[in-house]
Amino acid sequence: MITYREALALSLRSVSRLPSWRVPLAEALGLAAAGDVFSEDPVPPFTNSAMDGFALRSADAAGASDGSPARLRVVGDVSAGQVAAWRIEEGAAVRIMTGAPVPDGADAVAPIESVSADGEWVRIPGPVRPGANIRLAGEDIPAGGRVVEAGSALGPAEIGVLAATGHVEVEAVPRARIAVLTTGDELVDASERPGPGRIRDANLHSVCAQVRAFGGIAVPFARVPDRRGAVEEALRKAEAEADAIVTNGGISMGDHDHVREVLEGLGAETLFWRVLQKPGGPLGLFRLHGKAVFGIPGNPVAAMVMMEEYVRPAIRKMMGFSRLHRPEREGVLDDGWRKSRPDGRLHFLRVRLREEEGRLRAALTGPQGSGVLSSMTLAGALALVPEDATSIPPGGRVLLHLTERPEDHG
């Protein structure tokens, strides 16, 4: 058996970044940029007004006051999209709209609401700082500046900046296609009323939803019966259709747990099986013809926690993100926690977070059994009780994985 940290490192090593391709901006949202992107041109491309007002020489208003405003002659006007034909000489001003190029000679804009204009003349009731209300060419992005960093997520702002710099396509990494197989003779479709001894297949839905929430594409293979032949057939199909596979259930030591045997029969290499952790002890990782297969246990909480802790970082790596891991912070556990016995395992506890005087405080969401799925709906974080600890006293320190916050490290 190996530790969580070892198993996580192996999980990340078992996958690699998918080949990138050029994507139109309209399809790039949520993907990772495959490389740095630079701007050929400066943004803004020319020096322009940040306000509707009057472009002037700040020197002309230097001595102005309410009682003796500077009186400037309005020699023309310029709107966004036009280019001023005038050079501003001493004592002159040009009426200018937001986004219009600042005429030569002017070094400031007095906003319309601060002046009084009448016809050919405008009164400026006080000094205007040089550079006031002017956006300099290249002040946002200099020519040659980097607009998007390799491995960063393309969000609405990045897409906007790419458009502003004339990139209508971007080299990005595609979404990972993840096959999800649920196994178990006890499972019925969620739409059915389970007969005696049967339960609804919840995990197909939670795990596929997690794949989607992680940015991947879920390819569902539902309710594979606990028969070697059926598991083998599903795995063959899954392998052909996906970049990686998640199997759910059938990975423990029960009589009907066939996933590992079938994988090995198909020629898969076992990277690990069983991890010193709870939930998720029976977790296995395999490589089937170059593709990673995560064999996650069927307990609904174990399944979700394993998806979060192992499969999410792996999907992010496949999808080219440079930040793979959620924020890991120290916090305080309100409630005490005691392992039922010293088991040498890392325990993941579902907790609710709050911030108090700059400190993270965590409270258990309720009973921590691996089958208690409702506790997941309340959890905003996982608290880690280390392998060598047997208990955490009320108010004791724990490491927290902030599962509702974006990844902040590689």
Can you give the binding site for Mg ion, defined by CB under 5 A? Answer: 184, 249-250, 298
Asked if 249 is part of the footprint of ligand AMP (rule: CB under 6 A), the reply reads yes
Scanning 17-25, 195-203, 273-281, 286-294 for contacts with ligand AMP by CB under 6 A, the matching segment is 195-203
CA atoms lying within 13 Å on the CB side of residue 138: 9
Residue facing ligand AMP at closest CB distance: 298
Distance CA 250, CA 231 (A): 10
Asked if 375 is part of the footprint of ligand AMP (rule: CB under 6 A), the reply reads no
State the minimum distance, in angstroms, from the CB of residue 183 to Mg ion.
Answer: 6
Residue type present at position 122? V
Sheet holding 21-24, edge to edge: 21-24, 169-173, 32-33
Would you say 176 or 307 has its CB closer to Mg ion? Answer: 307
Would you say 103 or 297 has its CB closer to ligand AMP? Answer: 297
CB distance 373 to 202 below 8 Å: yes
Would you say 57 or 260 has its CB closer to ligand AMP? Answer: 260
Asked if 248 is part of the footprint of ligand AMP (rule: CB under 6 A), the reply reads yes
Distance CA 171, CA 31 (A): 10
Take residue 103 and report the two structure tokens written for it.
């005429």
- Residues 6 or more apart whose CB falls under 8 angstroms from that of 322 comprise 32, 149, 150, 151, 152, 410
Question: For ligand AMP, which residue of 58, 182, 277, 403 counts as binding (CB under 6 A)?
Answer: 182
Would you say 204 or 346 has its CB closer to ligand AMP? Answer: 204
State the minimum distance, in angstroms, from the CB of residue 307 to ligand AMP.
Answer: 13
CB distance 356 to 394 below 8 Å: no
Asked if 284 is part of the footprint of ligand AMP (rule: CB under 6 A), the reply reads no
Asked if 216 is part of the footprint of ligand AMP (rule: CB under 6 A), the reply reads no
Scanning 103-111, 173-181, 243-251, 307-315 for contacts with ligand AMP by CB under 6 A, the matching segment is 243-251
Asked if 280 is part of the footprint of ligand AMP (rule: CB under 6 A), the reply reads no
248 binds, among Mg ion, ligand AMP, none (CB under 5 to 8 A by kind): ligand AMP
Scanning 147-155, 201-209, 265-273, 393-401 for contacts with ligand AMP by CB under 6 A, the matching segment is 201-209
Radius of gyration of the chain (CA): 31
Would you say 216 or 250 has its CB closer to ligand AMP? Answer: 250
Asked if 53 is part of the footprint of ligand AMP (rule: CB under 6 A), the reply reads no
CA atoms lying within 13 Å on the CB side of residue 407: 20
Residue written as token pair 């009084």: 116
The interface with ligand AMP within residues 309-368 (CB under 6 A) comprises none
- Residues 6 or more apart whose CB falls under 8 angstroms from that of 121 comprise 71, 72, 73, 74
201 binds, among ligand AMP, Mg ion, none (CB under 5 to 8 A by kind): ligand AMP
Q: Which has the closest alpha carbon to 95: 81, 71, 114, 112?
A: 112
Distance CA 54, CA 86 (A): 13
14 binds, among ligand AMP, Mg ion, none (CB under 5 to 8 A by kind): none
DSSP 2: B
199 binds, among ligand AMP, Mg ion, none (CB under 5 to 8 A by kind): ligand AMP
Whether residue 279 has a cis bond before it, omega within 30° of 0: yes
